[in-house]
Chains A and B, each alone.
Chain A
């Protein structure tokens, strides 16, 4: 059993950086100013109240080294690295969202990188998380990170030549014509199909061999013998196996290039981006409420969490307070979707390790949640349940009874699954001490959610930085101790039980009252009102024709999704559309731990570990 811990009291520290105190007194800001006064530029607070420190782009690594290593600061978790292009030739901003586990403090460091010299120091030496995050910023904005070990495109194809998609001067449909795009996609150049690393592994250095004989290198028997002799007797040569993009256990179009020594993995290189649809770019061309349907297509296994997180982020920009009923409903939906996501995880992981029936048991329960989805929203997966300032509708009659019945009966399935797996010798052998990651490594790699907690770090956004009134609910955060697959399994099982606890409390306290905020700037008036009086009709007209406007500002709002910390970095310039809509997808960051976890393990463990990380390619590729 994983032990459960309650979050330490943070009121003392929190008082120091409360949002109403001047930023100059914030301990980190003070220390930074003392330590390196000329590296620190202006100070701001974002809509969430998080301090934003602008830092000289030439000295960013120095600042980060101080922020991470100084025991008074101790920002050990790099939550996000994201780019923002405000357009109009202004410098490209790179945001670093930091969190200190020790002090429970959040901080954003922003570097404004001038367009003529788009370079920054890579923070990879400090945080392993930065690897893929910086690659993404490079991919999308063209910012070079000096000292990055492997700065390649990550979501776009490696040979993508149209530019950097998230820059404002990049058109929504891309630079090339459709026919040119298709031509390039179908071109059979070797370098289009294989990555540089793969080519190196296959013994084809760049430009050395033509496309035809590259991958299938015929080695004569004699040559093979000489090769073997050269490699010290029976060493042999490693085998390159392509796991994916179409593979039964990659949970989507993920491709892992594995270099195998027998069955042992020598190297693992994940390739992502097959499902990249440019949601972040598209969102910049949609009105605030029109973004909601995009959000549930990212984590389609727990869609409402994305809806709720996005709405919360925009509401923080708008500075509106949602109604008490809406808050409780959102908590209910969040927890239902957490169960939904964890149940899928449980089923697929058990299936990947060979226990097929568990999958069907958990899917029966998921089916019941989907029925609840359907009863409320009409959709089962693409729910789009939130609107800015409220929900799409009030709950249908009898819905809460349905939830109550589910909450009371579904833990039985968990007990059944536990009986099948928790003490099963084969299950223990397959999961214990496999894919182990220590607490320090987990934080350094930016793992969040159950994966991090399985390593023993009690970080849960619901406790650390409560939203939707989670501080009023009585629940525990389960924590593992070994950081292996088994602990991830136990932590998730326990989290589902804790979710039922929260659900019971939320159902008991669900208040009556309006579901949407009473603010005509944000929420459509009642249809009968719109037809009845002129004021309502005007606001109805304006909201429908223009869309709602969000005051200028920026926010980085995060919630605890089923897979980890789900962040929304949103910038508004006061118009009807976001300037930047960034989704910090937890799976994206969790997945980059995979090479670290699997190297040295066996092929079967690759499957088990990959499953245990709970990834969903929809949000990884976005």
Chain B
């Protein structure tokens, strides 16, 4: 059976789009409940349990509340952008799902249907391009509210997301080096077999690219604005950051957008590093459709279902880890976040890309083709790199941990005081005009 072609392709794709969008929205809604239940579990309490059995309908109640609350529009807001911002927050997170394969291809009477909305040949680039759009929602919301807390939140958000965009993109470069393809189903297929023949169990990229996996997860966390990276909204500092002025469904869209973003990030981690819909230690799911229409493996409906289950399970596990982090860790400060992004992530990733590229060059000049030995060597190199990174280079220094006291010593504060004294002396000696702002920041 070949892949679907012709008119059937058109309407099947449309049906897939509708189906997956609905699925996504439902799952996002349930994620809210999951987060609250999980938070309850972590914090020794029950979580929502009043609406429906075990609180399952809580999401519905929340949604109803969003719909029924008063829509407010600040007097001095820029109305166009104020209204556009929530959409800009939700849409990129949603359309990212188009290029994510959820399961093994499904055989139907019209042909083999790939369980992906759009198998774009530029999948990975599409991911990077769309992910960067997410920042517009935050910046627009912050700026158009014409209010100070949202403004600060918007500034933080833009700085943060632009910084971590770079890290996010760079942490995917090693994948390109190993997989040699930007089409996402091919990256999944690559992990299923690790190019060692159709009957092998493969190797997930999380192992041979361990460091990349770590960086991508952290940058993804930063991209989805969750603790410890939730500075744009930092409830205790900026009340609600960029969406302070939003109410009702407009707030609801930011809210959904955040969860959709988290789900997308988790799905991307699954696809890139955890083998996508691959079921571990089983070669029976090594099904792929080559671009010329050849089908490798034996597709079956039950396999599609099983692989879809595997994909969901992995994604939800990653989401659960994200939630676990949120309810455990404190929040970074703005400058620490920037330091971490620019002074640690980017240099470390550059070195890491060089290392991986060098290793691959070495392996290939030694005549070793991608396969399990190849993967094992990469894993060893990564393990060494990770050890070096965490135990030798960092030891908590870069993000301001153990050795923080001796290095910082209130340097920033001292510099600022000196600047202020200079400014005051200048004001006293000179014109005495404009005032207290320190010179040079």
Interface residue from A357, A421, A429 paired with B327 (Cβ < 8 Å): A357
Q: Is B7 an interface residue (CB 8 A)?
A: no
**B436:A605 contact, CB within 8 angstroms:** no
Total residue contacts A-B, CB cutoff 8 A: 142
- Would you call B399 and A604 a contact (CB within 8 A)? no
Say if the beta carbon of B396 comes within 8 Å of chain A.
yes
The answer on a CB contact under 8 Å between B416 and A354 is no
B412 interface residue, CB < 8 Å from A?
yes
Give complex CA distance A602, B336 in Å.
11
Q: Which residues of A contact B230 (CB under 8 A)?
A: 354
Chain B residues near A357 (CB, 8 Å)?
39, 42-43, 327-328
Mask, B31-47, CB within 8 Å of A = 1, is 00000000100111100
Of A238, A247, A353, A432, which is within 8 A of B437 by CB? Answer: A238
Among B237, B333, B396, B439, contact of A249 (Cβ-Cβ < 8 Å): B237
Residues in A whose Cβ lies below 8 Å from that of B437: 231, 235, 237-238, 261, 266
> Is B329's CB under 8 angstroms from A262's CB?
no
Residue pair A430, B236 in contact (C-beta under 8 Å): no
When the two chains form their complex, are residues B152 and A603 in contact, meaning their CB atoms are under 8 A apart?
A: yes
Inter-chain contact A356/B333, CB cutoff 8 Å: no
Q: In residues 138-158 of chain A, which contact B (Cβ within 8 Å)?
A: none
- Please give, as numbers and ranges, the residues of chain B lying within 8 Å of A261 by CB-CB distance: 437-438, 441
Q: Are B441 and A428 in contact (CB under 8 A)?
A: no
Residues of chain B within 8 A of A430, CB atoms compared:
330-333, 336, 400
Q: How far is the CB of A21 from chain B (nearest CB, A)?
A: 47
Are the C-beta atoms of A429 and B434 separated by less than 8 Å? no
- Residues of chain A within 8 A (CB-CB) of B228 are 354, 426
CB contacts (< 8 Å) of A600 on chain B: these are 412-413, 416-417, 420
Query: Residue of B at shortest CB range from A608?
Result: B333
* Interface check A372, CB cutoff 8 A: no
Closest to A353 in B: B330
B116-132: which have CB < 8 Å to A?
none
Closest to A428 in B: B401
Distance between Cα atoms of A355 and B441 in the complex (Å): 31
Interface assignment of A211: CB less than 8 Å from any CB of chain B:
no
Q: Could you tell me the distance between the alpha carbons of A599 and B420 in the complex, rounded to whole angstroms?
A: 11
Q: Does B237 contact A607, Cβ atoms closer than 8 Å?
A: yes
**Cβ–Cβ contact A424 & B335, under 8 A:** no
With contacts A230-B434, A360-B45 taken as known, whether A426 is within 8 angstroms of B237 at the C-beta atoms is no
Query: Which of A421, A428, A604 is the one whose CB lies under 8 Å from B234?
Result: A604
Question: Is B179's CB within 8 Å of the partner chain A?
Answer: no
Answer whether residue B69 sits at the interface, using C-beta atoms and an 8 A cutoff: no
A426 engages B332 (CB within 8 Å): yes
Contact A429 B333 (CB under 8 A): yes
B157 to chain A, nearest CB (A): 13
Q: CB of A405 within 8 A of chain B? A: no
Over the window 227-240 of chain B, the binary record of Cβ atoms lying under 8 Å from chain A Cβ atoms (1 yes, 0 no) is: 11011001111110
Contact A360 B44 (CB under 8 A): yes
- Report the Cα distance A247→B227, complex, angstroms: 20
A88 to B187, CA, bound (A): 91
Determine how close the nearest CB of chain A comes to the CB of B385; give it in whole angstroms.
20
Residues of A within 8 A of B332 (CB): 426, 429-430
B408 at the interface (CB under 8 A from A): yes
Nearest neighbor of A242 in chain B, beta-carbon distance: B148
CB-CB under 8 A from B239, the residues of chain A are 247-248
B432 vs chain A, min Cβ distance (A): 15
Residue of A whose beta carbon sits closest to that of B408: A433
Does A190 have its Cβ within 8 Å of any Cβ on chain B? Answer: no
* Chain B neighbourhood of A238, CB < 8 A: 437
Using a CB-CB cutoff of 8 Å, which residues 346-387 of chain A contact chain B? 350-357, 360-361, 364
Q: Is the CB of A429 within 8 A of B413?
A: no
Do A607 and B148 have beta carbons less than 8 Å apart?
A: no
Please count how many residues in chain B sit with their CB below 8 Å of the partner chain's CB atoms: 51
**CA of A596 to CA of B330 in the docked complex: distance in angstroms?**
25
Residue pair A425, B401 in contact (C-beta under 8 Å): yes
Q: Does A601 contact B (CB under 8 A)?
A: yes
A389 to B399, CA, bound (A): 56
- Given contact pairs A430-B330, A600-B416, A354 touches B227 in the complex (Cβ within 8 A): yes
Give the residues in chain B near A264, CB-CB below 8 Å.
Answer: 416, 441
B52 at the A interface (CB under 8 A): no
Q: Are B405 and A355 in contact (CB under 8 A)?
A: no
Q: Say if the beta carbon of B409 comes within 8 Å of chain A.
A: yes
CA distance A262 to B151 in the complex (A): 11
Interface size class of A (residues with CB under 8 A): 35 or more
Whose C-beta in chain A lies nearest to the C-beta of B339? A429
* Interface of chain A residues 417 through 452 with chain B (CB within 8 A): 420-421, 423-430, 432-433, 436
| Residue of B with least CB distance to A216 | B76
Chain B residues, Cβ within 8 Å of A424:
329-330
Once A351-B236, A360-B43, A420-B328 are accepted as A-B contacts, the answer to whether A604 and B400 lie under 8 Å apart by CB is no
B410 at the interface (CB under 8 A from A): yes
Q: Is the CB of B405 within 8 A of A482?
A: yes
Point out the residues of chain A lying under 8 angstroms from B328, CB to CB. 355, 357, 420
- Given contacts A249-B236, A600-B416, are A426 and B42 in contact (CB under 8 A)? no
The CA of A436 and the CA of B405, in the complex, are separated in Å by 11
Q: Are A356 and B404 in contact (CB under 8 A)?
A: no
Q: In the complex the two chains form, is A433's CB within 8 Å of B410's CB?
A: yes
Tell me the complex Cα distance, A498–B238, Å.
36
Contact A426 B409, CB 8 Å, known A432-B404, A603-B152: no
Q: A601 vs B416: C-alpha distance in the bound complex, in angstroms?
A: 9
Instruction: Find B405's partner among A237, A259, A361, A433 (CB 8 Å cutoff).
Output: A433
B66 is an interface residue with CB less than 8 A from chain A: no
- Contact A425 B400, CB 8 Å, known A264-B416, A264-B441, A433-B408: yes
User: Which chain A residues (215-250) contact chain B, with CB distance < 8 Å?
Assistant: 230-232, 235, 237-239, 241-242, 247-249
As a 0/1 sequence over residues 472 to 513 of chain A, the CB contacts with chain B under 8 angstroms (1 = contact) are 000000000010000000000000000000000000000000
With both beta carbons as reference points, the residue of chain B lying nearest to A240 in the complex is identified as B148
**Contact residue among B148, B236, B396, B399 (Cβ-Cβ distance under 8 Å from A239):** B148
Q: A557 at interface (Cβ–Cβ under 8 A)?
A: no
Q: Closest residue of chain A to B40, judged by CB?
A: A360
Residue of B nearest to A231 (CB): B434
Question: Taking CB as reference atom, which chain A residue is nearest B415?
Answer: A600
A432 with B405, Cβ < 8 A, contacts A424-B329, A424-B330, A604-B234 known: yes
**Residue among B42, B234, B236, B410 with the highest chain A CB neighbour number at 10 A:** B236
A604 touches B334 (CB 8 A): yes
B residues in contact with A427, CB < 8 Å: 330
Verify if B402 is at the interface (C-beta below 8 Å from A): yes
Chain B positions 420 through 435: 1 when the CB is less than 8 Å from some CB of chain A, otherwise 0: 1000000000000010
Chain A contacts for B231, CB-based, 8 A: 604
Q: A426, B399: Cβ atoms under 8 Å?
A: yes
Instruction: Select the residue from B237, B396, B405, B413 with max chain A CB neighbours within 10 A.
Output: B237
Q: Measured between C-beta atoms, what is the minimum distance from A410 to chain B in Å?
A: 14
* Contact of A350 with B405 in the complex, beta carbons under 8 Å: no
Question: Would B329 and A267 count as touching, CB distance under 8 A?
Answer: no
Query: Could you say which residues of chain B place their CB within 8 Å of the CB of A353?
Result: 236, 330-331
> CA A372 – CA B267 in complex, angstroms?
49
User: What CA separation (Å) do A360 and B420 show in the bound complex?
Assistant: 41
Task: Verify A361–B227 contact, CB threshold 8 A.
Answer: no
Shortest CB-to-CB span from B68 to chain A, Å, is 24
CA–CA, A430 and B408, complex, Å: 12
A246–B399 alpha-carbon span in the complex (Å)? 32
Instruction: Kindly supply a per-residue 1/0 record for chain B positions 94-121, scoring 1 wherever the CB is within 8 Å of any chain A CB and 0 otherwise.
Output: 0000000000000000000000000000
Pairs across A and B, CB under 8 Å, 19 listed: A231-B434, A237-B437, A238-B437, A239-B148, A241-B148, A241-B149, A241-B152, A264-B441, A353-B330, A364-B44, A429-B333, A429-B336, A429-B400, A429-B404, A430-B330, A432-B405, A432-B408, A433-B405, A600-B416
Query: A230-B434, A264-B441 known; 5 other A-B pairs, CB under 8 Å?
Result: A357-B39, A360-B43, A436-B410, A600-B416, A604-B231
What are the 5 A-B residue pairs with the smallest beta carbon separation, nearest first?
A354-B331, A429-B400, A425-B401, A600-B416, A360-B43
B residues contacting A by CB (< 8 A) are 39, 42-45, 148-149, 152, 156, 227-228, 230-231, 234-239, 326-336, 396, 399-402, 404-405, 408-410, 412-413, 416-417, 420, 434, 436-439, 441
